[in-house]
Structure 1
Amino acid sequence: MKNNYILRILKVCVGSFLSGLGIAYCMLSGYGADPITVFFDGVNKATGMDVGTISNLTLLVLATGAFFVDRKQVGVGTFLTPFFMKFGIDFGMGLNLMHDGWMDIMWFIIGIFVIAIGIAMAISAEIGQQGTDALILGLAKKYGTQYYVIRWITDGTFLIIGLILGGKLTWGTVIATLLLGRIITYFLNHLFKREKNQDSSLTVKG
């Protein structure tokens, strides 16, 4: 039992690092990243707060909301994820990637899939999710809705607010908004297979 819990903690840490690394790949490609990045950019331009502070406050608010929706989604992983995600972003941003038209597109595509694998791995550990996913999973479970449907709604909300506040929109961000939830769900169902007693809201129907 103890070894299993240690393995779950490792999955959260590695998964969070990978999702941060994927975000860095997307940002370095020049094609944008996930919608919450647009939100952070918009709030930064509107208030002058640094992105790190905005990120921590946002995750805190989302985790608090998730606690009231479904407190099982909040746990040790909720507190570990931001640190390892930041580590992944910082590590990735320090890489000297090759750049040209096709290479940048490749890095963006790789980034999206690495983000999805990382998030799916962290979710599959089931010891608490980072604020965004904790709230999405809680709402999906409460309303019997698919994970990717709730993610479309939350990502779309972050994107719209970010744009209103002056955040930068790229075609890559639009692609991430439309596809990321489905790719995460795919990896949860196939790479990190769910057990029968686990959350059915993560299962893709048809």
Structure 2
Amino acid sequence: MTPLAGRRLPRRIAQLLVGLFLYGIGIAFMVRGAIGAAPWDVLTQGIANHVPLSFGLITICVSVIVLLLWIPLRQRLGIGTILNALLVGPSADVGFWLLPSPEMLWLKVLFFVIGLVTLAAATGLYIGANFGPGPRDGLMTGLHQRTGRPIWLVRTAIEVTVVIVGWILGGNVGVGTVAFALLVGPLCQFFLRVFAVRSGGGEPRHDPPAGE
């Protein structure tokens, strides 16, 4: 049994659970900010306009659909993948229950910034625990492997598609959506270096950066 799998297991489990909970809270902050949601959250907002389900439950349903798309791509699930699909949505609903909807612009911007930083830190926590990618980034890496297209191109194509569909359904696209696209990568990379669980040799081990 390696140090990563044995002695560090309690830390990894704690990181995974705390990270997934905070991921949902980060989503809630950004959505409450109402200056533009992250791409997949735009889609969730759009769907929520047409079905009598909570944001969190829709998030779970979308995650399950995305996981079904893993099958022809021959992607392998991790426990982190399954827990991501099941826990992020409910934690977002908790965030919506706790957080008000700010009226003043500076508060909206502050909510978005808090949400973005929280989500990035949460990403570093749960990916650093090394229990598997989230459903949506598993789709991204699977399509990359099957098509041979660059990761950036596959990710851009997926996120542009979900933003367009979400916007058509009434999701909130705005300056926050653009800010998220530009800033989330560097922020996640920073927090991943902070929280990555290291192997016995001292090198951090983690899966490719993943989203929800």
Q: Same fold (TM over 0.5)?
A: yes
- Please tell me whether residue 65 in structure 1 is matched to residue 69 in structure 2: yes
What aligned pairs does 1:134-153 form with structure 2 within 5 A after superposition? 134-139=138-143, 143=148, 145-146=150-151, 150-153=154-157
Shift of residue 4, structure 1, vs aligned partner: 2.8
In structure 2, the residue matched to 1:157 is 161
Residues 143, 154 of structure 2: 8 Å contact kept: yes
Given the two structures, how large is their TM-score scaled by the length of structure 2? 0.75
Q: Residue 144 of structure 1: CA displacement? A: 8.2
Which of 76, 80, 90 aligns to 2:79? It is 76
Count of residue correspondences? 197
Which residue of structure 2 aligns with residue 48 of structure 1? 51
Any residues of structure 2 matched to 1:1-206 within 5 Å, and which? 1-45=5-49, 47-48=50-51, 50=53, 51-69=55-73, 71-72=75-76, 74-95=77-98, 99=102, 100-139=104-143, 143=148, 145-146=150-151, 150-188=154-192, 190-193=193-196, 195=203
Give the residue type in structure 2 aligned to 1:165. L
Q: Deviations over 1:19-64 (max 9, x none)?
A: 111111112222232111211232344x535244532232112223
RMSD of the alignment, in Å?
3.0
The TM-score with structure 1 as length reference comes to: 0.76
Instruction: Verify the 8 A CA contact 1:156 1:177 in the aligned structure 2.
Output: no
Letter in 1 for 2:136: T
1:111 CA drift (Å): 0.6
Q: What does the per-residue CA deviation read over 1:129-184, in whole Å, with 9 as the maximum and x for residues that have no partner? A: 331132234445675845x6644332222101112333332221232233323422
Residues 198 and 41 (structure 1 numbering): CA distance in 2 closer, same or farther, change over 3 Å?
A: closer
Instruction: State how far apart, in whole Å, the 1-side matches of 2:155 and 2:122 are.
Output: 16
Query: In 1, distance between residues paired with 2:65 and 2:51?
Result: 19
- CA distance 1:120–1:69, change in 2 (3 Å): farther
Gaps (5+ residues) in structure 2?
Answer: none
Matched residues in 2 for 1:124 and 1:144: separation?
A: 26
